[in-house]
Structure 1
Amino acid sequence: MSASGGTKAIVAALAANLAIAAAKFVAFLFSHSSSMLAESVHSLADSGNQALLLLGGKKAQREATPQHPFGYGRERYIYAFLVSIVLFSVGGMFALYEGYEKIKHPHEIEAWYWPVGVLVFAIIAETFSFRTAIKESNVLRGKKSWTEFVRHAKAPELPVVLLEDLGALVGLILALGGVGLALITGDGVWDGIGTLCIGVLLILIAIVLAAETKSLLLGEAAGSEDVEKIAAAVVDGDTVTRVIHMRTLHLGPEELLVAAKIAVQHDNTATEIANAINAAEARIREAVPIARVIYLEPDIYSEAEAAKGPDRDATPGGPTPTADH
C-alpha cells in the first residue's frame, strides 16, 4: 500500500483497538456492564477491520495477469466494503441485541471503577489514534471540507479509519453516559439504553461506508481537476486539435484509465498521427501521473458525428463531464 493509503493511521488504529478491546472485555468480566461488552465487541470488530484494510492493500499490489489485465487495484475497495459489513453485523447488530437484553433484564453494574477507568483510558487511546488519522488525512485533504474528503477520496483507507475512530470516540462517550446514569440512578436500564445508542451509531457509520465504497466498486471517473488537466495535455494545437469524447475510470486509488477519441488534421500522415499520440500520452502522464493506462483513438472531427457519441449532453469536442460520488 502506498503512503497515500494511510498505512500509519491504520496501524495506529489497529494497535489502539487491540489494547482497548482487551481492557474493555476485562472491565465487562468484573462489572457485567452490557455497554462494556458492546464496546469490547466494537473494538474487536474495528481491529478486524483494520486487518482487512492492510490485507486489501497488500493484495492490491499484485502484478496484472492475463485474467486480470488491469491489475488488482480495486482489491482495496472490496476490503473497504467488507469493513462496512463487519461493522454493521458484528458491531451494530450485536450492540442492538445486547442493549435490548439489558433493558429487558436489567441489573446493577458491579465494580463500577472498572468500566469507568477503562472507558477513560479508551477515550485517551482513541483520541491519539484519531489524531493520527486526521494528520495523515490533512496531507491529502487540501482545502476540501471533511465531508468532501470522505465522499470524494479515491483511496478508501483513510476515510474508513476516520469514520471508525470518530464512531469509536462517540461510542465511548455514549457508553460512559450509560454507565454513569446507571450508577447514579441505580437502574441498569440506562446501561442498556447506552448500548442501544452505540448499536445505532455503528449501523449509521456502516451504511455511510457501504454507500461510499459501493460507488468506488462500481467505478468512478477521475476528479474534475484531473479531467481538465488530461484534456489540456492531449491537445497540442497542431496535430491533435481537440478532444471529441473522453472517458476516465479509476482502476484503483492510484491508477487511472483514460480512453479518448481525439481530432487530428485530415491531411496528417499515419506516422505524424502515431507520433502525436505518443507525445499526447507522455503529456498526460506528466500532467496526471496516476494515468497509467491510456487509449487514444484518432478521428476527423465532425460536429454532427460528435453529437451522436457518448457525450450528447456535453459541449461538442469537450471532455466528458464528471461528478464525484
Structure 2
Amino acid sequence: MTVIIAFLANILVAIAKTVAAVLTSSASMVAEAAHSWADAGNEIFLLIADRRGAREKDERHPLGYGRAAFVWSLIAAFGIFTAGSIVSIMHGVQELSETGPVESPAVAYAVLGIAFVLEGASFTQAMVKSRRLARERGSSTWDYVLDTSDTTLRAVFFEDMAALIGLVLAAGAIAMHQITEVAAWDAVGSILVGILLGVVAIILIGRNIAFLVGSNASPALRDRVGRALLGSPQIQRLTYLHIEYVGPNRLFIVAEVDLAGDAREHDVARRLREIEQQIEAHPVVETVVLSLSVDDEESLVFGAAAGAPAGAGTGTGAGAPAQP
C-alpha cells in the first residue's frame, strides 16, 4: 500500500510539473518534472521487488527469493541517479549559459504547492509506519529507516523526503530569480535538485548493496534472537550464532547449541529438527540450521542473560526470535 500511494502521487505530480515546465520555461520545474517521472518509474520497480521477493522458496532457491527485492530496489535507486540526478544537473548546467525569464511564475508556485500536499501525504504515510516500527524495536525513526531490511519502505521514505526538499529548493530558486532578476538562480535550483537526488540515490544504492553481499543482523537483533533461543527449555547453552538477511524481514539463522540432557544421537537429531521447525514457524525466519556444540566451546551470553549462568533461559520461547 505504501508503494501504491507513492506511485499514484508521483504520477499526478509528474503530469502537473511537466505542464508547468512547458508553461513557465523554468529549469527548476524541468528538474522537478524529471524527478517525479523518475520516482513514478521507480515505484514500478519497487512493486516488482515486493512481488518477486515474496515468492516461496523451492529446490533451486532453498533460502527463498527475498534477495530479488534488493536487486530490483537497487535498479530503482540507479533510476533515481540517472533519470533524476544526472538529467537535472546537466539541464541546470546548460541553462546557466542560456537562461531566460521564468514565465507565469504563479503557475509554477501553484503546481509546487499542490505537489507539496500530495508528496506530503505520501511521506506522512511512510513516516507513520516507520515511527511505529521503530518504536516497536526501541530505535529512532531515522536509524530504523537506514538499517531496516524493508528496502521498499526505505526507498519510499527517502524518495518522498527528497521530493519535499526538492519542491522547496525549486520554489526558492524561482523566488530568487524574481527577487534578484538574475535568471541563473533558476538553473542553480535545477542543479541543487540534481545533487539532492544524487545523495539519496547513493544512500539507497549503498544500503541495497550491503544486503545483497550479505549483511549481518544488528547487535540488538542478534541479542534478541540469542535470548529467544536460550529461552527454549530444550537449549542449555549457545556457542555460535549467525544471522543473515536473505530478504526484507527474512532471516537465515545458523546456531550451535547444547541441548539439555544426554539423549542418544537419534533422539538428539529429532529434537534438533523439532526446534528448527518451531523457529521456522515464525514469520520472519526463512531457514534455520542447528548443530551441536562442542563441550569446550565458550558459551554465548545475551542481554539480561549476561549476568546469569550460562544457559539461563529468558522465557521468550525459541519459536519467536523477534522482528528484524
Q: Taking structure 1 as reference, are residues 172 and 236 closer, same or farther at Cα in structure 2, changes over 3 Å only?
A: closer
SS of 1:221's equivalent in the other structure is: coil
Q: TM-score, normalised by structure 2?
A: 0.85
After TM superposition, give the deviation of residue 151 of structure 1 in Å: 1.8
Counterpart amino acid of residue 210 in structure 2: S
Whichever residue aligns with residue 181 of structure 1, its letter is: M
In structure 1, list runs of 5 or more residues that go unmatched: 1-7, 304-315
What's 2:131 paired with?
138
Matches within 5 A, 1:128-167: 128-142=121-135, 143-167=138-162
Q: Which aligned pairs between 1:1-325 and structure 2 lie closer than 5 A?
A: 8-142=1-135, 143-235=138-230, 240-264=235-259, 267-282=262-277, 284-285=279-280, 289-303=283-297, 316-318=298-300
Write the deviation string for residues 263-316 of structure 1: whole angstroms up to 9, x where unpaired: 347953123312431343255347x5422311111243213xxxxxxxxxxxx2
Count of equivalent residues: 301
3-state SS of the aligned residue for 1:161?
A: helix
Partners in 2 of 1:237 and 1:302 — Cα distance?
22
Separation in structure 1 between the aligned mates of residue 220 and residue 132 of structure 2, nearest angstrom: 18
In structure 1, distance between residues paired with 2:124 and 2:232: 48
Residue 237 of structure 1: CA displacement? 8.4
Give the Cα separation in 2 of the matches to 1:217 and 1:237: 31
Task: Give the structure-1-normalised TM-score.
Answer: 0.85
Corresponding letter in the other structure for 1:91: G
Aligned partner of residue 258 in structure 2, secondary structure: strand
Q: What residue number does 2:317 align with?
A: none
What SS is found at the alignment partner of 1:284? helix
The structure-2 alpha-carbon separation of the partners of 1:238 and 1:42, relative to structure 1 and needing over 3 Å to count, comes to closer
Q: Give aligned-pair identity as a percent.
A: 27
Q: 2:272 and 2:34 mapped to 1: Cα distance? A: 56
Counterpart secondary structure, 1:317: coil
Asked if 1 retains the 8 angstrom alpha-carbon contact of 2:64 and 2:286, the reply is: no
Displacement of 1:157 in angstroms is 1.1
C-alpha distance after superposition, 1:44-95 (max 9, x if no partner): 0000111110111111122333332222111111112112211111101111
1:78-128 per-residue CA deviation (whole Å, 9 max, x = no partner) reads 112112211111101111111111111111111222212111111121111
Per-residue deviation, residues 197-240 of structure 1 (Å, max 9, x unmatched): 11111111111111112111112233434433433344478764
**RMSD across aligned positions (CA):** 2.3
Structure 2: state its 5+ residue gaps. 304-324
Kindly tell me: are residues 299 and 120 of structure 1, through their superposed partners in 2, closer, same or farther at Cα, counting changes over 3 Å?
closer
CA distance in 2, matches of 1:230, 1:279: 17
Contact 2:35 / 2:84 at 8 angstroms: preserved in 1?
yes
Q: In the alignment, is the contact (CA less than 8 A) between 1:239 and 1:265 conserved in 2?
A: yes
Change (3 A) 1:292 1:71: closer
Moved more, 91-100 or 253-262: 253-262
Q: Structure 2: how far apart are the matches of 1:62 and 1:237?
A: 30
Which whole-Å CA distance do the structure 2 matches of 1:185 and 1:73 have between them? 52
Contact 1:102 1:188 in 2 (8 A): no
Match of 1:5 in 2: none
Moved more, 84-93 or 110-119: 110-119
CA shift in 2, pair 1:204/1:236, >3 Å: closer
Q: Amino acid of the residue matched to residue 317 of structure 1?
A: S
Deviation string for 1:17-45 (max 9, x for gaps)?
11111111111111111111110010000
